[in-house]
Amino acid sequence: MELMEAIYHRRTVRRFEDREVAAELLEEIIEAAVQAPSAMNMQPWSFAVYCGRPRLVAFSDRIKEHVLATLPPLFELHEHTDRMSDPGYDVFHGAPVLMVICAKEQGWSPAETVCLAAQNLMLAAHGLGLGTCPVGFVRSWFRLPRIKDELGIPGSHEPVFPVVVGHPVEWPLPTSRREPDVVVWARARAGGLRRD
Ligand SMILES: Cc1cc2nc3c(=O)[nH]c(=O)nc-3n(C[C@H](O)[C@H](O)[C@H](O)COP(=O)(O)O)c2cc1C
């Protein structure tokens, strides 16, 4: 797949086939993730990989409970709350694999760097016919020291980018984008800051 095609056609997938993803494919997308640039090439990322629907369903139930218990009051009427109260709702959208990409304490700008690795991973997955969905809001649960301990994430590794991976049931339709908000474009000729 051409790079521009992958960039333009990747979509967040929220419906997955009920089958595992081969370990070789997971290794391949992790290898692609670590090709991302990093400050001083410090590569401050790590990957916690959790496979199997029953495991993810159990995580999902515990996460919903945690979210409901910790939501700020203003969110109480939000549709998010309804979803979190729905026993049938799976925060991982039925995916068979969850990867939590973490930032190691040492390193410059580790969180930003992790996001670059995550984008590589999602594009590589798309190139291999796999779907991905970042699941940002579950991060707070994975950051709880007792959960990190239980799930094998070292204390000095900060969960930054949870993303699920699986075989998509379908490719979603394109989502819209606003025009790029280029607030300054200082051209090379004299005359100060002008956008023309
Ligand atoms: C940091 C981040 C967090 C996200 N969290 C969630 C999430 O918790 N649940 C979800 O279904 N999608 C989540 N998404 C996916 C976005 O909703 C999606 O990227 C956006 O609607 C644009 O759609 P597209 O990726 O198909 O272009 C997240 C995306 C990002 C980058």
| pLDDT tens-digit map of 72-81 | 766 665 777 8
Mean pLDDT on 35-55 = 97
pLDDT tops 80 at residue 184: yes
| pLDDT tens-digit map of 88-119 | 999 999 999 999 999 998 778 899 999 999 99
In this prediction, residue 189 has a pLDDT band, given cuts at 50, 70 and 90, of confident
Mean pLDDT across the chain: 93
- d(CA 33, ligand 1 centre) in Å: 18
Strand partners, 168: 16
Residue with tokens 């699920």: 164
119 lines ligand 1 (CB under 6 A): no
The model carries a pTM of 0.94
| pLDDT tens-digit map of 106-154 | 778 899 999 999 999 999 999 999 999 999 999 999 999 999 999 999 9
Question: Given the CA of residue 93, which atom of ligand 1 is nearest to it?
Answer: 11
- d(CA 172, ligand 1 centre) in Å: 13
pLDDT tops 80 at residue 35: yes
11 lines ligand 1 (CB under 6 A): yes
Q: Which helix H or strand E contains 59, and what residues bound it?
A: helix 53-70
Residue 16 DSSP code = B
Residue among 9, 10, 12, 63 whose CB has most ligand 1 atoms within 8 A, to mutate: 12
Question: Given the CA of residue 172, which atom of ligand 1 is nearest to it?
Answer: 26
Residue minimizing CA distance to atom 28 of ligand 1: 134
Question: Given the CA of residue 115, which atom of ligand 1 is nearest to it?
Answer: 1
8 lines ligand 1 (CB under 6 A): no
134 lines ligand 1 (CB under 6 A): yes
Helix (H, G, I), strand (E, B) or coil at 108: coil
Buried b (16+ CB within 10 A) or exposed e, 63-100: bbebbeeeeeeeeeeeeeeeebeeeeebbbbbbbbbbb
Say if residues 33 and 117 touch (Cβ distance below 8 Å). yes
Helix (H, G, I), strand (E, B) or coil at 35: coil
Strand partners, 134: 163
Name the CATH code of domain 3-166 (choices 3.30.565.10, 3.40.109.10, 1.10.1030.10, 3.30.420.40).
Answer: 3.40.109.10
Q: Delimit the domains of the chain by residue range.
A: 3-166
In this structure, what are the phi and psi dihedrals at residue 5, rounded to the nearest 5 degrees? -65, -45
- d(CA 24, ligand 1 centre) in Å: 25
Residue with tokens 């797949």: 1
Q: Quick count: other Cβ atoms within 10 Å of Cβ 10?
A: 19
